[in-house]
Amino acid sequence: MPKKVAYKAQIEHLQILDENGKLDEKLAKGTLTDKQVLALCEHIILCRHYDEIAFKLQRSGRMGTYPQNKGQEAIAATAMAVTRNDWMVPCYRENSALFLHGLPMEHILLHWMGDERGNQIPEDVNVMPISIPIGTHMLHAMGIAWAKKLQKTDHVALTYFGDGATSEGDFHEAMNFATVMKAPCVFICQNNQWAISVPREKQMASETVAQKGLAYGADCIQVDGNDVFAVYKATKDAVAKARKGEGVTLIETLTYRMGDHTTADDARRYRDSKELEAWAKRDPLLRIQKYLAAKGMWDDKKEKAAEAGAKERVAQIVKNCENIAKPSTDDIFDYTFATLPDDLRAQRDSMRTNSLSLEPGQSTLRSPEPQHA
């Protein structure tokens, strides 16, 4: 029998706004308006200042470890411009999207300050708490998407993760189940070139991250993650497909982690400074500003005004977090069960374990009974 090709595919790369702020008008049709681009610019400035202050809070001992978002903000922020009441399932570097989706900005700082109220999502905000374990949250996104399909809604779940997460088994399980069930789920990989200190080329043999989704029957595309127009178009198309029940999309967004992995990391130990300098020229914020300046919509005066507004707003957010009332110990009990069991109610009310509250004699070690000859 003659040989035949059983499968053949390719991965498209999409860029609409280049590094100099020049737009491909044809590809940009039906994407972002200039007003939306301006709003994204101001939002990224706000998020960058938030990042800088969070870094200083950690360095001054006022907050725990913090992962900076600098360099990647355009991906998450732009993707959120597409959605409405859809669900967002983040990892830990999507502040720009979380804030646009309705999460109060205090929540992220509270989380990293160790206050669990930072993870108490308001009921009208369709986001999940940030996920620190690598890759596990993609399964949650798939589950939410499948649930929405079973409920016969047109809601979509979008999940964000890094390139390193695609080397985890959870990614493959989530992709396989989502595609088989045609769950309305969009997978957005923020390929920032580094899985902590491991470069992409040393943790996967595939030429792209996007091609990994082909094995599961997903639609796959690679985009310039520092190009807001490309990210918007790819996400808009993927969400539309998912909403119509036409399957899963994996979007690989090429970007760069401008800061350290977290404040517990020092990227200078493993990253070439020339690589950082090269990617700094591709900064999504600079690209947007060049585009807007050419349109007469951005200048030094507007930049200073945006920065001043960001400083004022973030200062108030920090004040709100640091002056928040101490949590009640009742919170340990009251958010675990819908109806608190009697034994736990006894513990809560007595502030002692149930057995100790019922038998106070157990509260200390009893002296052994004297031995008689």
Which of the residues are catalytic?
257, 261, 270
Given a contact cutoff of 8 angstroms between Cβ atoms, the answer to whether 195 and 91 are in contact is no
Contact 125, 103 (CB under 8 A): yes
**Residue 255 in tokens:** 């970007």
Task: Judge contact between 118 and 107, C-beta under 8 A.
Answer: yes
Of all helices (H) and strands (E), which one includes residue 199?
strand 198-199
Phi-psi bin for 10: left (phi > 0), alpha (psi -120 to 50), beta? beta
Nearest to 333 by CA among 318, 317, 347: 347
User: In angstroms, rounded to a whole number, what is the distance separating the alpha carbons of residues 91 and 137?
Assistant: 7
Cβ within 8 Å of residue 241, ≥6 positions away: 219, 247, 249
Contact 143, 174 (CB under 8 A): no
